[in-house]
Chain A
Amino acid sequence: MTYLWIKALHVAVVVLWTAGVVLAPVLAAGLARTGAASGPALGVLRRTFHRLASPALVLTWALGLYLAVSGGWMRFEWLIGKMGLVLLLTLLHGGVSGWLRRGEATGDVPARLGVATLVALGLVTGAALLVVLKPVV
């Protein structure tokens, strides 16, 4: 029973975290396109990203590792693959945070932020496919 509660909470924080990593770059690029990108505007975006997505990232890892260990999933290849994709998404989270901080300081949106959304979407889709299909190698 506890396992299912933790699993539900894990899914909820994953949705919150991935929404942050996918949407923050889109919003920053949108601000740049409409000419509304400025240091203060990107600062608000960066702080919101940190208040919502960063705690969700920590909880995603904590709850996910608990589920993997307590459920005995660690020996399956699909989980190792999924954890690799989650690690890349975690690094992208760090990158988005840094690019937003640079944007806040300069008032410009780094060009790489646009690509970050596509990469994040690819990683999230890959992780979802692995966890649902659980392919056996």
Chain B
Amino acid sequence: MLDRLRDPLVRLRFAGHVEGLTLLALFFVAMPLKYALGIPEATRVTGAVHGLAFVAYLVVLADTAAGAAWRLREVALALVAAMVPFGTFVYSRRLTGAASTADLTPALP
């Protein structure tokens, strides 16, 4: 498992899944607990965990994008994916389709 994480695309997919799961937990577990049952601690804890997962995703994205000279459009797509529920799971399918980071990189003129 740790060896597979040396591949930047696998690492980005993994970080995306963690980020996506924490976002779903925030939206569909913690927020109902806060607003329906009056438990504000739920969003405080889940929000903090999601914040850290989001930062980790951004770092891995910066590493992947810089390492493969991604075009800005690809970076923007990966960013938007992290901000909507299920976004990183959908984006992960795009990454799975690419055999390597080079497939998402513009050809040099």
A residues neighboring B (CB under 8 Å): 61, 87, 90-99, 101-102, 110, 112
Contacts and interface: CB of A to CB of B under 8 A. Distances in A.
Nearest to A100: B67
A112 B59 CA distance: 17
B59 A91 contact: yes
Interface of B: 8, 52, 55, 58-69
B59 A94 contact: yes
A11 B40 CA distance: 33
User: For the complex, would chain B's binding face be called helix, strand, loop or mixed by DSSP majority?
Assistant: helix
User: For the complex, would chain A's binding face be called helix, strand, loop or mixed by DSSP majority?
Assistant: helix
A93 B66 contact: no
B62 A95 contact: yes
B68 A98 contact: yes
Given A61-B55, A87-B55, A94 B61 contact: yes
A91 B62 contact: yes
B62 A102 contact: no
Contacts of A99: 66-67
A94 B66 contact: yes
Contacts of A101: 8, 63, 67
Nearest to B65: A98
B69 A94 contact: no
Given A94-B60, A97-B63, A102 B69 contact: yes
7 contacts: A90-B58, A91-B62, A92-B62, A93-B59, A95-B66, A97-B66, A98-B8
A98 B66 CA distance: 5
A98 B55 contact: no
Nearest to A97: B63
A96 B66 CA distance: 8
